[in-house]
Chains A and B, each alone.
Chain A
Amino acid sequence: MKLLLDRIDEPGLNTLEVYERRGGYDALRKALQMTPEEALEQISESGLRGRGGAGFRMGQKAGFLPHGDMDKYLVCNADESEPGTFKDRELMQKNPHMLIEGIVIASWAAELGRAFIYIRGEYQLQADILEAAIAEALEAGYLGPRILDSEHSLELVLHRGAGAYICGEETGLLDSLEGKRGNPRLKPPFPAIEGLYHGPTLINNVETLCTVPAIIRLGGKDYAKLGTETSTGTKVVSVSGDVQRPGNYEVELGIPSRELIYDLAGGPFEGREIKFWFPGGSSSPVLTAEDLDVPYDFDSMAKAGSMLGSGAVIVVDDSHTVLEVAKKVAGFYAHESCGKCVPCREGTNWTVKMLRRIEAGEATPMDLDIMAGVQEQIIGNCLCVLGDAMAMPIGSMIEKFRGELEAEIEAARQRADAAALHDVVPLGVADPHAGPMPVHTAR
């Protein structure tokens, strides 16, 4: 069943004309007939869980916002930067009005009058499309004061970021939206109590908000019949890496992962086999070919020792080494760590250095234990989960592929020793700022 990707390739769907012809904004009309409490009740009954990574129930989160007349904000998190994730990009590019409709309904349910879309700066085409769609919706009276002659008013502003993964973290995003460096904040207070400009703020992912019109259309109870009991509905899954047909696939939650990777995405290339795969973006602990029959939903993935995350499957086949992928993962988080919390800033950097040591042939198998220890000390010790997001996959790689990494260490050592017999050991880099040369530089 397609709710989000339904006929999404229809030409001109990004314009209001085509979207309205397909029954667009009817869900908004229906929602505005309800009271905000009734609309929120529908969202709660649907059991919709956040599609951005944490999987928190949207109805519950919206319910945390205080009632009453105050400055409350809705922020749509369109800073999609998790490696392997590209579902929001396709939704915003091809069906921007569905997102706008979802935002208007959600802001009605949460009783707030000001919303922002924080889109990552690299998505220039998508931002242009959204900007045009917002202007169209404003002209047609779906945004602005007294929407469709109801009591609901909403201002919607599109905000373009400038390239920082950490701004996808909700409090980092809020700081960035306030015009600062995107450093995460201490929680609590959670954004629902004190968020943007110190006001209560509801933050939801693009896909979550895009689902809201479908929930209102179907009714919360009927939507909850899709998927599994605890992971309701459909999910757009981005499949990429070593598969024949990478792309976005909308599936009901709970289908076997094998069906997703083999039947829809075409499986690995001819003569190759799946070595391991990330079920929820590069932040999720890796699973191996043995886990391919795990149902693709929030709880089954957690039970299998990983997570559904943002719903991005990255498949790695047997032509790649674990070390190569681990280096990319650690390098990414080291580059994107904002530097605020020490365990993350230092842990990501030292993990990269230790992985380079393996490659240079300077490591021993004991380094794997040290590296695993570093990962353990990052998890849970920072303001946000960026550090955890590196520690979990790296930790799982060490655990599941220890044999291969040990073999890699030994092979690299032998390579380096053989090279040392032929080459003159280089003395340290001549750097004018380096001060007096250390006495001992050769290894």
Chain B
Amino acid sequence: MSAVPRFGHGSRVPGWDESVDLTKDPAVVPDKETTPVRPELREEIEAAMAKYPDRRSAVIPALHAAQAIHGWCSPEAIHQVAAVMQVTPAYLTSVATFYDMLENRPAPAGHHDVYVCTNISCSLRGADEILDAMVGAAALTEREVHVRSFECLGACDIAPMASVDGEYVGPLTLEDTRQIVEDLEAGRPVLRDKQLRFRKSADPGVAEEAGEWSPRDDAPRADTAGLTDETKELDRPGPTAAIEMPADEAAEEDGDDQ
């Protein structure tokens, strides 16, 4: 039997304490007024909060927005989001560590993300080799290209495939991995002739020429879709789990229920 690796504190999960400083006291909700936050980030988070009956629903969009600016969910990014949303940093960290697309390891702003799908359908078509080749190709460039394997990205029809900064491309060959890096270096669309947005339906019953599948350039944004003054009345925030509710308030609520 080979030895099971153990760590000093008893946990077998490496890196569990990397995103927090265990020697500090728990952080409280940061002050809204004194925390410096870029205006565009603040606006984006506030617009997201306005879309939901409960502001906490905007946690994922807010962390996405902060990550786009900071490169990853750094303590600083978490602190800024916490200040705007008025929640504790610990709550945001709990969410940020749950989801695969939120980065918890340092990464510079403006880096490229390449997700290579290595789930069943893609691996049957050679995705593991594509991943190795992609890692090799990314190591040769000066640009920050972060390559990682990802679970099913929902594009098994173009297996093996990858998502390059959100753009789905496939089916990939080993040579394509170098082309992806070259395209990223040149700043042009990656593997344009293999992008999913141009792909026709496979069903023979769908007889129609395919076009490009992307929103029009002048398409309006739906940030505030449905949020008119008239419909605001429709919506009364429902009670959600008492995450930061003070003890006396929580006791009152319990009393109401009975």
Among A265, A428, A433, contact of B3 (Cβ-Cβ < 8 Å): A428
A219 contacts B by Cβ under 8 Å: no
Q: Is A134 a contact of B222 with CB atoms below 8 Å?
A: yes
A114 contacts B by Cβ under 8 Å: yes
Q: Is B57 a contact of A11 with CB atoms below 8 Å?
A: no
Q: Is A434 a contact of B6 with CB atoms below 8 Å?
A: yes
Q: Is A178 a contact of B206 with CB atoms below 8 Å?
A: no
Q: Is A5 a contact of B152 with CB atoms below 8 Å?
A: no
Q: How far is the CA of A264 from the CA of B157 in the complex (A)?
A: 13
A162 contacts B by Cβ under 8 Å: yes
Closest A residue to B55 by CB, please name it: A179
Q: Is A122 a contact of B121 with CB atoms below 8 Å?
A: no
Among B8, B59, B228, B234, contact of A433 (Cβ-Cβ < 8 Å): B8
Q: How many residues of B contact A (CB 8 A)?
A: 88
Looking at the assembled complex, report how far the CB atom of B122 sits from the nearest CB atom of chain A, in whole angstroms.
9
Q: Is B209 a contact of A120 with CB atoms below 8 Å?
A: no
Q: Which of A79-87, A378-386, A396-404 contacts B (4 or more CB under 8 A)?
A: A79-87
Q: How far is the CA of A135 from the CA of B204 in the complex (A)?
A: 32
Q: How far is the CA of A93 from the CA of B200 in the complex (A)?
A: 12
Looking at the assembled complex, report how far the CB atom of B153 sits from the nearest CB atom of chain A, in whole angstroms.
5
A417 contacts B by Cβ under 8 Å: no
Q: Is B95 a contact of A181 with CB atoms below 8 Å?
A: yes
Residues of the A chain whose Cβ atoms lie less than 8 Å from the Cβ of B156: 83-86, 238, 240-241, 246, 312, 314
Q: Is B152 a contact of A332 with CB atoms below 8 Å?
A: yes
Which applies to chain B's interface (DSSP): helix, strand, loop or mixed?
loop
Q: How far is the CA of A154 from the CA of B227 in the complex (A)?
A: 10
Residues of the B chain whose Cβ atoms lie less than 8 Å from the Cβ of A122: 101, 115, 150, 153-154, 163, 166
Closest B residue to A112 by CB, please name it: B234
Q: Is A264 a contact of B3 with CB atoms below 8 Å?
A: no
Looking at the assembled complex, report how far the CB atom of B216 sits from the nearest CB atom of chain A, in whole angstroms.
6
- What mask results when residues 153 to 168 of chain A are scored 1 for a CB within 8 Å of chain B, else 0? 1111111111111000
Among A89, A128, A325, contact of B120 (Cβ-Cβ < 8 Å): A325
Q: How far is the CA of A163 from the CA of B55 in the complex (A)?
A: 21
Closest B residue to A17 by CB, please name it: B216
The residue in A10, A240, A248, A282 that gathers the most chain B C-beta atoms within 10 A of its C-beta is A240
Q: How far is the CA of A433 from the CA of B13 in the complex (A)?
A: 12
B25 contacts A by Cβ under 8 Å: no
Residues of the A chain whose Cβ atoms lie less than 8 Å from the Cβ of B118: 328
Q: How far is the CA of A311 from the CA of B170 in the complex (A)?
A: 22
- What mask results when residues 120 to 161 of chain A are scored 1 for a CB within 8 Å of chain B, else 0? 111111001111101110110001110000000111111111
Interface positions of B from 31 to 51, Cβ below 8 Å from A: 51
Q: Is B206 a contact of A2 with CB atoms below 8 Å?
A: yes
Q: Is A132 a contact of B216 with CB atoms below 8 Å?
A: yes
Residues of the B chain whose Cβ atoms lie less than 8 Å from the Cβ of A320: 124
A279 contacts B by Cβ under 8 Å: no
Q: How far is the CA of A354 from the CA of B231 in the complex (A)?
A: 56
Q: Is B119 a contact of A179 with CB atoms below 8 Å?
A: no
Q: Is B231 a contact of A129 with CB atoms below 8 Å?
A: no
A232 contacts B by Cβ under 8 Å: no
Among B8, B100, B154, contact of A80 (Cβ-Cβ < 8 Å): B154
Closest B residue to A328 by CB, please name it: B120
A15 contacts B by Cβ under 8 Å: yes
The residue in A122, A156, A438 that gathers the most chain B C-beta atoms within 10 A of its C-beta is A122
Residues of the A chain whose Cβ atoms lie less than 8 Å from the Cβ of B246: none
B187 contacts A by Cβ under 8 Å: no
- What mask results when residues 131 to 153 of chain B are scored 1 for a CB within 8 Å of chain A, else 0? 00000000000000000001111
Q: How far is the CA of A320 from the CA of B207 in the complex (A)?
A: 35
B1 contacts A by Cβ under 8 Å: yes
Residues of the A chain whose Cβ atoms lie less than 8 Å from the Cβ of B167: 125
Q: How far is the CA of A51 from the CA of B228 in the complex (A)?
A: 33
Q: How far is the CA of A2 from the CA of B216 in the complex (A)?
A: 27
Binding site for A on B (CB under 8 A): 1-3, 5-9, 51-61, 63-64, 94-95, 98-102, 115, 118-121, 123-125, 150-159, 163, 166-168, 196-197, 200-216, 219-222, 225-228, 230-231, 234-241, 243
Give 10 closest A-B pairs by Cβ, nearest first: A247-B202, A11-B211, A197-B238, A155-B226, A240-B156, A132-B219, A163-B100, A162-B99, A179-B56, A135-B220
Extra contacts, 14 of them, besides A125-B166, A156-B226, A163-B100 (Cβ < 8 A), are: A8-B206, A8-B208, A9-B200, A9-B211, A14-B215, A84-B152, A129-B213, A155-B234, A162-B64, A178-B54, A182-B99, A198-B240, A242-B125, A247-B201
